[in-house]
A and B are shown apart, each in its own frame.
Chain A
Amino acid sequence: MKKILSLLLITALLAAALAGCGGKTGEAEGNTPAAPSASAKTHLNIAADWASVPDIYDLSNSWTCMRIGVTESLVHFGEDCSYQPWLADSWSVAEDGLTWTFVLHPGIKFSNGAALTATKVKESIEAVYAAQDPAAGGAGDIYTFMEYTSISADDEAGAVTIVTKEPVPDMPGVMAYPLLAITDVAANAERDLLVDGPIGTGPYTVVSYTTDHDYQLAKNPNYWDGEVPFETVSWVCVSEPGSRYQALLDGSADIATHIQASDLPALRDAGYNISIVAGARDGYYHVNFEGPLGNDALRKAVFMAIDDETVCAITTGGSYTAGYTPLAPIYTQWGGEKIPDPAAYNPEQAMKILDDAGITDSDGDGWRELDGKNIELVYVSNTSRQMNEISQAHAALIQAIGVNCRVQTVDSQGEYMRSGSFDMVNSNEMIIPTGDPSNFLSHWYTGSGTGYNYARYSNPEFDRVYEALKPEIDTDKRNEYIAELNRILTEDCVLLLGGYYNFNICSSAAVTGAINPACDFYWLTKDIKPAA
């Protein structure tokens, strides 16, 4: 009897669960976004896809400090990725092309009330270079952007002068990069930086941080650029896109980042604000030139087997826009729209190329061989930003032309990249980290070594143009070189593009100003305000 009762109870529970799941697509249609309350909203809830440590001396974690509105830098990227004043009002370069002077905006204070002086800026930059110094065991990332011979500070004039070792044409962009955000080094020394966060000049300060879970932020009482709209902010890491979507729907979050494209129509219909930017971030694969894909015919056939339009539009639900040039055609100055696709989707042609190159299935096992050996291409892929779905779709399409291919899902691809244990390894990268793609393009420069040139690509023509680009200050000339590099990489089928990522920030009607910037360094800003 008891057993029958248990069975009935379970059946009833299941029926209830099914009833819960059985709603029509996009439950949001029945809901309305949280309406602005009558009283002023003083607390903001953000469901973000990450909450990494507030480590201002680490390349990727420094982004977090800027995204949560704690740190700011001398220069800001505008909507079109142009250089805009931020902590610095202006900047100039001397005729030698090496001496840069940044003049600070007067009256700025750190969140602890200390004045932002030229000396503080100098100390902040020096601290980053010291922490990143490869000779002292540092990661050395910042040295790939710029190396200086001296920095001097003039507190009276509020000017910082940096003399670089070599010409750095994108110097304002380098100073806009989050790793060079300005913090109060002396005050930082008294804090446990990885828990308490740095002392910066941003609109918010860190109250508490729970590792990989949440930031509790409070208004910076000394903020220099107008009134800070919210007294407190909860920035919670919700790693599942579906859960972030749900958090928006049920009102537990006012803002959510990276909502899956398939869920966006329901949000849009329900009146939520959706801000999308495409082009600044590539979801792509480094192709290992030291493996089977070093064979030109095989590589071209593999590229040709990829139906990128379908993968981007259907498999990712529109989270990516299809393309084939490393630098998206929306950046017209880099000539993407003029470069023909050398490997447009054509599986029949791909198979013909393989047959002509003698890459055939001679042992009858269903898979083609290269030089008498079975080919098994390995996609090393993480799950971030739907890259795993793209990898699986690619693998299926490559198998369709008779080339064996499998996906190896990993948490982090870094070790695979450096060791070369891959045929294709995914990356999801900001292509214009300094407003200029030269750092991104150095992935394929032989001078970068295998620690950055993961593809082990070597092309003297590419190297020659890259070396010409590096010191060039003239913008038009730089654009010419970049366009040339864009063409070489495309024609050589060097990087397999998954698509241009359509990054989004969604917000309820309770807030305004949650705008997704072209350079995704700025998420929580002073411009996000309670709806009037």
Chain B
Amino acid sequence: MNAPLLSINNVSKKFGAVVALENVSLHVGAGEFFALLGPSGCGKTTLMRCIAGFEAPDAGAIALNGVDLSGVPPFRRPVNMMFQSYALFPHLDVFENIAFGLRRQGEAKDAIDTRVEELLAMTQLSNLGRRRIDELSGGQKQRVALARALAPRPKMLLLDEPLGALDRKLREETQFQLKEIQRLTQTSFVIVTHDQDEALALADRIAVMRAGRVEQVAGPMEIYDRPATRFVAGFVGETNFIEGRLVRNSGAALIAEFGRIPCEPGDLPEGAQATLSVRPERIGVEREGEGIAGFVENFVFRGETTLLRVRVAENVVLRAAAGHGERYAIGDSVRLSFPPGAGTLLAEER
């Protein structure tokens, strides 16, 4: 990671009795694509508004390039925000919306024209400069909002659910565009989202938040493969939680009700009660063999894979993804195998 551009140190914020942020510390590097991921009400938007200057933290400090931002009003922060509602100015056309920030900086007219044209081209809005905002489609509005926020060349761009209002197809296309624009502009992007796919797809690093706290900060793969907490494992992607007792000798494993599952013991002691998180696609599904026996209770065809619900004990159902090609029917007997390192042992909940 580069030297941190943004440092958030021990930030807390309350709204009345509601704790929005509790002792949050994060660092975002220059040129990084960073995601704040969490369910609604987890504090991610409040954190973003604290960075933009619309909210002031009750405690802690936010610094940009080592300069403390406390008491700096939003209009003096070299940080721009793309609003979830886009907040485009309805009385100005596309060109003037994008030029708004440049005009406030008092740039020369020629420089403004050049910069706006450049952004119109980058966001594929050339020829739409003189359109009124209410004549644009949702996707066009989204791109105007992005161009407007990028125009004054901010050190950091904050994006509040930038793809939330787009339909599924457009969203995927826009994900690639966002990534491309981020790469081209070399600007730090901090995106707020409740959509795990979006965070995994876009971000270099993700902070998963829950109830005002940061649960884990890591790259997308690590978040997915090595979730730090039960919450992260459950929120990002699909998973099975398997309860059991840890044995460390002769190859560490979790002794569950229905069988023995090998795992990395970490620093948990012998005999500890523990939870193992195993992604459905990490479980091997065979018709017969060594694995744990169960029968197919239900299944969902997903194209690439078929997600099976396999009952392995009277009150334990595991989800396992079977590869393409094999057809299963309800009631089929299957064997589930757990390759070493398939799951992650989770720390006890706080």
- Please determine whether chains A and B interact with each other in the same assembly: no
By a beta-carbon cutoff of 8 Å, the part of chain A in contact with chain B is: none
List chain B positions with a Cβ less than 8 A from chain A.
none
